[in-house]
Structure 1
Amino acid sequence: MQLDPATSPNDSGYNRLEEQLAWYNHKSQKQKMLYFGAKALTIIISASIPLAAFAAKPAVTAALGAVVTICEATQHLCQWHTNWLAYRATSEALKREKYTFLGQAAKYSGIPADEAKKLLVERVEEIVSLEHSKWVATQEQARGGLKDNQVTKVPLKG
């Protein structure tokens, strides 16, 4: 079997794989930067609170404490750390699927090209669907628990 994703991008699902891989890479990097930025700001401002208190500046001390609270609450609501790790894991799963497909290894070994393309589409959609389900559950949990439409985990085949 000879797989060439460039020869039939419309039916291979390969373009979808590349799009999702780019999206998860970008989002992972963005979430990481937001998380580190918020944490760095929290650390810097937290360290300056004792200085403001020592200088007998109660209004400044209170304002700094409020900024720390806002940073931490925003991080909790937005889940930048959790999203960064989840998006990175999904990106790595998609990358692994890409190279397994291109290398005709594992489940792609010894099967006809058409069947391999179909399997690729199924696997990519399973990976993305699983990540989306986890994301929804995480967002609901961060906002107070699951409500009416509880998300269930979708296991990957094989």
Structure 2
Amino acid sequence: MGDASTNQSANDAVWGRVERQLTYYRTEAKKAKVSYRSVKLVQIVVGVVIPVLAAAGATGWITAAVAAIPIAAEGVQQLFQWQSNWLRFRSAAEALKTEIFLYQAEVEPYENANRLSVLAERTTKITREESAEWATFHQAETTSSSQPRQFAS
């Protein structure tokens, strides 16, 4: 009797974790996608408005101020890395979905008795690799931004 209860508890724990991971990556991918596309939309719309302002005879400072918006928007996009986050999170979500499908279909590597352990290992590997990629990227970004610039003489 205790074995069945323990097995169900393990099953619930693994499935709960996989579902939370999938929900997290889906949610974060969607937020990053919306942010990235919003910034790009602002850049396009404002980019179209700039020549119209110039042709309409707007004062130089107004045209210059409006022209600064797409540049600032690109700086914000580079700071938050919404495009790369969107792609990384979406990729992790798709990898998790693939593992879930294979598990439910009971095909390799999920065709034997230890399939729940295999699911836990493989999905943990996906999230570990994504986290390591994120950390490596941000470490490189931090290191490169804190290094003094070398100028050619």
Higher relative contact order (CA 8 A, sep 6+): 1
SS in 1 for 2:106: coil
After superposition, the CA RMSD in angstroms is: 1.9
Query: How far off is 1:140 after superposition?
Result: 3.5
2-structure distance, mates of 1:97, 1:117:
11
Match of 1:21 in 2: 22
Aligned residues: 137
- Residue 96 of structure 1 corresponds to which residue in structure 2? 98
- Distance in 2, matches of 1:146 and 1:106, equals 45
- For structure 1, the 5+ residue unaligned runs are 1-6, 148-158
Q: Name which of 76, 79, 86 aligns with 2:78.
A: 76
Percent identical residues: 28
> Is the 1:42–1:68 Cα contact (8 Å) retained in structure 2?
yes
CA distance in 2, matches of 1:81, 1:142: 15
Structure 1 residue 77, shift from structure 2 partner: 1.0
Q: Specify the alignment match of 2:39 in structure 1.
A: 38
Q: TM-score, normalised by structure 1?
A: 0.79
- Out of 63, 66, 73, the residue aligned to residue 65 of structure 2 is 63
Cα drift, residue 137 of structure 1: 2.4
TM-score (norm 2): 0.82
Code of the residue aligned with 1:72 in structure 2: it is E
Following superposition, the deviation at residue 143 of structure 1 comes to 4.5
Larger helix fraction of residues: 2
Bigger Rg, structure 1 or 2:
2
**Distance in 2 of aligned mates of 1:39 and 1:141:** 25
- The AA in structure 2 aligned to 1:25 is R
Which one-letter code corresponds to 1:11 in the other structure?
A: A
Return 5+ residue gaps in structure 2 as ranges: 1-6, 147-153
Deviations 1:23-55 (A, max 9, x none): 111111111110100000011111111122222
Deviation string 1:59-106 (CA, Å, 9 cap, x unpaired) is 111111221111000001111111111111100000000111111111
